[in-house]
Every structure is written in structure tokens, then in C-alpha cells.
Structure 1
Amino acid sequence: METTTALFYVFSAILLFAAFRVITARSTVHAALFLVLAFFNAACVWMLLKAEFLAISLVLVYVGAVMVLFLFVVMMLDFNTDALRQGFWKHFPLAGIIGLVIAVEMAVVLLGGFDVAEAPAPTSEQVELGNSKLLGIEMYTNYLYPLQIAAVILLVGIVSAIALTMRKRKDSRYVDPSRQVKVKKADRLRIVSMQPEVQRAVAPADNQTPTGGQA
């Protein structure tokens, strides 16, 4: 067995284990860390396939930005996930069957793309350009319209997330920026002029003697 093949099996096994622990870990933080481990191993698999651009993009975008942000949000919120995980193992067989069906369908669709025997050999010009530049040329020429459709879908998702977050709820606090701008100094601070009060010393009565004295 070659070294590349052995590394592929090692990275794939760790990737499958980390992906399984993402959905079975009881702690949300642990699930996020296992997802980071899965992304790292997926990037290693991309490196073995000589797709350096995709590997570094996976590490920078997902591990360096998305997952770190998600991990910080999970740790700051510290919400209880026990109620959300009730009945997990009860529905796990059905979810496993559905996931297996989806995996088989994706394998049937993508199986033709892994046939590299009919792939044309790269020319000397393509070798000089590198896979990153060739990927950009391919995306913005032959796949320009699918790329624009994906961008529109992402934009719709961003707008939908903002609309769901900014809706008025009873348990949320909202500050109107226009009212903050219109506030004047006199509305927040009022200076009141008061006459000073002089405290007078109270003289002891004639029939009282100091403590410890003689009458």
C-alpha cells in the first residue's frame, strides 16, 4: 500500500468518526470542536487530491471564521441543550436510514465524476497556470450563471436571517437610533438651584449633667 493511500484511509476514518461525534456529543462545545476536526481532515483529503486551493479555503473560511464564530456564540450563550436532545436515540434509526439514502443518491449522481481514466491530460499551459487560476477561469466562464444563482440564494438567506432576527418581540429590547439622535442635554440633565441649609448646634438642657459627672 502506498503512503498516499494509507494517509487517505487514516484521514477518512478520522473524518467519519468526527462527523459521527458531531451529532452524538452531549456537549454543544464538544460537537463544535469535533466539527473543526472534521473540517481539518477534509482539508487533508483535499490536499491528497492536489486541490490546494479548496483545502486552504476550507480551513480559512470554515475553521478560521465560521466555526470559531459559532464556537464563541455557543460558549457565550451557554444554553441548555438537554431539552433539545430529548428523543434523539428514538429517532436515530429513521434519521440514519434517511441519511444513508441521501448518501447513496449522491454517490450515484457523483460516481461518474470520479472516472479519471477519460479525463484529458493537462497541457503545459495549464500546468504553468496552476489549479487555483484554472478553477477561477472555469467558474467565471463555464459556470458563471450557476455561480450567480448561488450568490442570489446566499443573499436571500442573509436577508431572511436579518428579517427573522430584527422582528419585534416582547422579550427583546430595541433602541431607536433616531430618538437617541434627537435627545438634548436638557432632556437628560436638569440643574436645580437650592438654598444652603445651616445646621444649628443643639445646646444641652440645664437639668442634664454630662455623663460621669456629679450633680
Structure 2
Amino acid sequence: MSVTTGLFYVFSAVLLIAAFRVITARNPVHAALFLVLTFFQAAMIWMLLKAEFLSITLVLVYVGAVMVLFLFVVMMMDINVENLRIGFWKHFPFAALVGVVIALEMAAVLMGGFRVVDEPAAVVAGAAQVSNTKELGTLLFTQYLYPLEVAAAILLVAMIAAIALTLRARKDSKYVSPGDQVRVKSRDRMTVVKMAATQTAAEPAAPQAETKA
């Protein structure tokens, strides 16, 4: 067994264990961290398959951005785990049935891709001199340029909409208009008051004499 095959089995075993822990962990934060580990192992498997662009993209996008956002949301929401588990076993048979159907469908579709076919030596020699990242970039910006621009526009609209939804006026927050901050002058921020250098201390009042009846 080669080193590449051994690493593939190691990464696959860790990936399966981490994926199983994602759905069995009681703490949502732990489940999110196990999902991060799952993404890392999948990236390593793609690296073994010489798909370095997909591997780096998975780490940068999902692990570096999406999962960090998930962790912040989960930690800020303070989810009550006990309420989430109410009715779990009631819906478990139907959920298991759906999972089995999905697994069988995926196996039927992907089974043809697991067959090992010997490629011609000329194709293998030519593929060794070509960078798949370069070829993918050339393909995206030539043949799929318009779909790429449409996807970029949709993501931009989604980002603007998300920012607009969060900009809500709150009565308990102190807000200062950026326009007023830009237009402010130094004389408006500070007022110089002229005062005497020294001032005489006020004399204490004389005590009043007690009157006797």
C-alpha cells in the first residue's frame, strides 16, 4: 500500500467519525467544531486527488468564513439543547427513512464514478504539465463568464440586503450621523473659556451669637 492510499484511508476515517459526531454531539458549538474538522479532512482528500483549487477554496470559504459565522451565531443565540431534543424519537423513523432513500439515490448516481479505468499514457503525460487551477480559471472567465457575473451580482444583492436588514433604528442605542461628524469644525467641538489666573478664596461666614431668653 502506497503512502497516498494510506493517507486517504486515514483522512476518510477521521472524516466519517467527525461527520458522525456532528449529528450526535449534544453541544451545538461542539457540533460546529466537528463540522470544521470534517471540512478539513475533505480538503485533504481533494488535495490527494490533485484538486488543490477546490481544497483551498473549501478551507478559505467554508472553514474561514461560513463556519466562523455559524460559531458566532450559535454562541450568541444561547440555544437551549433540551428544547431541541423534544420529540426527537417521535420523528426519528421518518428521518431515518428519508436518509436511507437519499443515500441509495446518491449511491446509484455515483456508482459509475467509482470504476477504475486506465487512461492512455499520452493523456496522463499531458495532464501532468497542466495546472487544473489555471484551466479552471480560464474556463470560468471565457466559456462561463456570463453565469459567473450573474452569480456575482446575486451575491452582491444578497450582501446588500443582509446589511439593510440589520440596519434597524434602536431607541436604546446612541447614534451620530456620519454626515454631521464629517461637517463638524474644531470650534464646534471645544469652547475656550477665559478665567482669571488666581482667585481669592471666599471668607468664611462669622458664627452667629446665641441669644439667651
TM range (shorter): 0.5 to 0.7
1:31 is matched with which residue? 31
Correspondent of 1:200 among 184, 200, 203: 203
2:9 is matched with which residue? 9
Contact 1:18 1:35 in 2 (8 A): yes
Query: What is the correspondence of 1:140-179 to structure 2 with a 5 Å cutoff?
Result: 140-166=141-167, 168=168, 170=170, 173=173, 175-179=176-180
Look up the SS of the partner of 1:129 in the other structure. Answer: coil
Correspondent of 2:78 among 57, 60, 80: 80
2:63 is matched with which residue? 63
1:117 is matched with which residue? 117
How far does residue 81 in structure 1 lie from its aligned partner after superposition? 0.8
Using the size of structure 1 for normalisation, the TM-score is 0.67
Which amino acid letter does the alignment assign opposite residue 34 of structure 1?
Answer: F
Contact 1:28 1:74 in 2 (8 A): no
Structure 1 unaligned segments of length 5 or more: list them. Answer: 208-215
Hey, what's the Cα distance between the residues in 1 that align with 2:49 and 2:79?
38
Moved more, 191-200 or 35-44: 191-200
Root-mean-square deviation (Å): 4.1
Contact 1:25 1:31 in 2 (8 A): yes
Hey, what's the Cα distance between the residues in 1 that align with 2:24 and 2:171?
32
Structure 2 unaligned segments of length 5 or more: list them. Answer: none
Q: 1:95-154 CA distances to partner (integer Å, 9 max, x unpaired)? A: 444344444444444444555638776264442122222232343444445444443443
Contact 1:39 1:59 in 2 (8 A): yes
1:211 is matched with which residue? none
Distance change >3 Å, CA 60–CA 200, structure 1 → 2 = same
Q: 1:156-191 CA distances to partner (integer Å, 9 max, x unpaired)? A: 43233223222x355774543234445566776667
